[in-house]
Structure 1
Amino acid sequence: MICEHCKQRHANVMVTQVHNGQKVERHYCEVCATQFHPFQFEVSEEPTSLQQLISNWFNFVPTTAKKENATASASSPKACPSCGFSYRQFLKQGKFGCGQCYVTFSEQLPQLLERLQAGTQHVGYVEEAPSNEKIEQQISELRASMQQAISEERFEDAASIRDEIRGLENKINKEGEGDA
């Protein structure tokens, strides 16, 4: 593939950007990529791990000054007391050695997570409990299917539907007792 900008050299850098929900891919040669792409990069022949790419993009391990590294390591524990895992090893491998590592490196994790995602607080999916009206509607549908099973002489199916109806009715009764 030829560079989209100079149309002379072989394109070996692909830049993917998302604008207004649309994914746009551009293919540049090394020369044009260094001129137009905001990230600085090095082209190497050896493969790079995903953890290394992420740590390079977000500057997880600062290389600007030895003084910053000294103050950061002095204020933070050097290794997990349980497994001996260091924070630097975590950044390199992308995972902790044990559960105690989360406690040991708890001061560094919030700023790391803020760089990777929208925030540090988990706001996961919470399934809503079905309302009594929905359960009653489900019961009426089950009763109709139970009657259908009886008329077709599928008595085992009718019995399992009956048990399901009883379970839903018990659920409604328990919720009604809790509200009172």
Structure 2
Amino acid sequence: MDCENCGERKAKITLTEIEENEMRTVNLCSTCATLKGVSVGSGSPPIADLLAHLGGGAGDTLFEAGGEACEYCGTGAAEFRKSGRLGCPQCYVQFDRQLRALLRRVHGAWQHMGKVYVSTALDTDPAHVRLSTLRRRLERAVEIEDFESAADLRDEIHVLTEAS
């Protein structure tokens, strides 16, 4: 496939841009991608980019330079920031506190919550389903400390329970 920008070279990168709520995908050669500001061939893994952009809070203390290293394999801050990978299974135990902080910062929780199945059976009361959904969302909002949303959800639950 040829580059959609210059049409001269083979496209090696697919760039997805979202502007004004409109998504557009463009196939570009390395040169055109570089001109658009996309780093090409940096070999930088996504986790390293994530850590670099986290900024204050948990991102600064996570694997800080000169900090602790894995007692088993010796992986430390520099290696983790460079490769985005831990060295061995023991690293997950050694850096449990830092990894939990990173996951909390990125995902709002350190443990996967998953999706909850809600029955769509005909005999299920829609108000009951709505109420249980709101309660789960409230619980999640409190867990991730989104208190503004939690207050809105609490009020909505109150209105539904008063109507019942």
TM-score of the aligned structures, taking structure 1 as reference length: 0.41
Report which of the two structures shows the higher radius of gyration computed on alpha carbons: 1
TM-score of the aligned structures, taking structure 2 as reference length: 0.43
